[in-house]
Structure 1
Amino acid sequence: MAKQPGLDFQSAKGGLGELKRRLLFVVGALIVFRIGSFIPIPGIDAAVLAKLLEQQRGTIIEMFNMFSGGALSRASIFALGIMPYISASIIVQLLTVVYQPLAELKKEGESGRRKISQYTRYGTLVLAIFQSIGIATGLPNMPGMQGLVINPGFAFYFTAVV
């Protein structure tokens, strides 16, 4: 019986190596995210934050906490979760419809999709920076929540944003 191309052991072994490498990366990224979601931002009073979140039941803040996997309720360093990526992805997809150069990139095939994906990652970074600045400046200034940020100075803003 003749050997069919692509069904030999060596080609199957090479494909499994790539799959294994990608699977290990995903598992590693999930582990890092879960550990990071339990590391609090330095300078946040957890008791005052719990009181704030209890008052915000049924609002956008509760939805934001859900999308971050509960990281917001723990005031973790990964509180933004995947929200900046989701927002950037939606924005870039909408721009491909209304902005002609992006629409042409979309029609170019794989290279165009790679470029659009790169723009999405850049947008994610920009949105994450703006969202983290907004959260860092909004936390100390929330009405009725004095004491949420223990020492609202430059050090707090820097550690919260970075």
Structure 2
Amino acid sequence: MITYLIILISTLLNPCEKLSLSDEITTRELIAVVELSEEGDNYIIFNIIQSYKGFAGNQLAMRGEFQFEPEIHYLIFADLKNSRYELNPCSWTQNLHNVSQQTFMELSNLVCFDPEEVRTGACDRSWSPPVCGCNGKEYNNMCEMHNEGIMKYTRGKCQ
């Protein structure tokens, strides 16, 4: 009886079980470097600096239980629920300065091009600012990049 009580108390005090890094990368639908733009009572708006996985546009609105500070870049891992990204409190989301080299090495192994994501169709040029695809090619906007099946990008022109 005491053992069960200890397990129950431990579960209540620490309801999260953090995934391994490889499971986190596989499981989460959005992995991106972001900067806080605006924070409200039930939402957070980020500017996306770089995306490793998932498509969220130039800005991202989401819910989550993390404390974010302005002018600091964060690596976020988010789930897609009801057509909206949410930060899982057990995820590897953290200040970019605290991210290990191993994490960056695993993220660099994510696919750059996915032939199943190639699309056709016109793009609205006002959709987003220029982006630099992981293939080193500069695109006028994210729509053009997505049409070519490119999965990772950095906001802005290629350096």
Asked if TM exceeds 0.5, the reply is no
TM-score interval (norm. to shorter): under 0.3
Normalized against structure 2, the TM-score is what? 0.23
Normalized against structure 1, the TM-score is what? 0.23
Compare the two structures and name the one with the higher strand fraction. Answer: 2
